[in-house]
Amino acid sequence: MASAVQEVFGYFPSASTDNATQLARRPCGGNVPAGSVITVEIAFTSAGGSEGLGIEKWLMGLRYSANNVPSTAAGDRSASRITYSGGFLLSEAYVYGGGDTQLYLRWKPVDSGRNWTLRGHLWVETSD
């Protein structure tokens, strides 16, 4: 087994209160075996909205239900806010598998805000 690590970065001048950002379901092109868990550690920052300037860091995981297929089952995912500064920015964040076998990051700001930056890493065990 090998490990694949990939940087996650996104900038959004504005955002709604429910957003889905597509991630690489096969980081670095590796094959992800069924049962593997992808881990995402990501920081969210926002320079606007009712909370003002703030930052939150989240840790998330999602199991793969088949080779290269992220699970769509809610019971196969986990997420936790691990730190924040400047008040809560998000009501919820997690990774999930789309019906089209893609991998998404769902993030739900408390306020629509502006100048959102997402930065972190995802990693998973691969078979090559």
| pLDDT bracket for residue 52 (50, 70, 90) | low
Backbone angles phi, psi at 29, to 5 degrees: 80, 5
- Residues 5-47 have pLDDT tens digits of 889 999 998 888 899 999 887 877 788 999 999 999 999 998 7
* Cα distance between residue 44 and residue 79, in whole Å: 14
Closest alpha carbon to 14 in 49, 54, 58 = 49
- State pLDDT tens for residues 91-115: 999 999 987 678 999 999 987 777 8
Q: According to the model, what pLDDT value does residue 127 have?
A: 82
pLDDT computed for residue 30 by the predictor:
82
Q: What is the pLDDT of residues 34-45, one digit of tens each?
A: 999 999 999 999
Residue 68 DSSP symbol: T
Half-sphere exposure of 57 (CA within 13 A, CB side): 6
Q: What pLDDT band is residue 48 in, cutting at 50, 70 and 90?
A: low
Domains of the chain: 2-126 (2.60.40)
Mean pLDDT for the chain? 88
Say which residues have a Cβ less than 8 Å from residue 17's Cβ, sequence separation at least 6.
91, 108, 109, 110, 111, 112
Q: Is 67 in a helix, a strand, or coil?
A: coil
pTM: 0.88
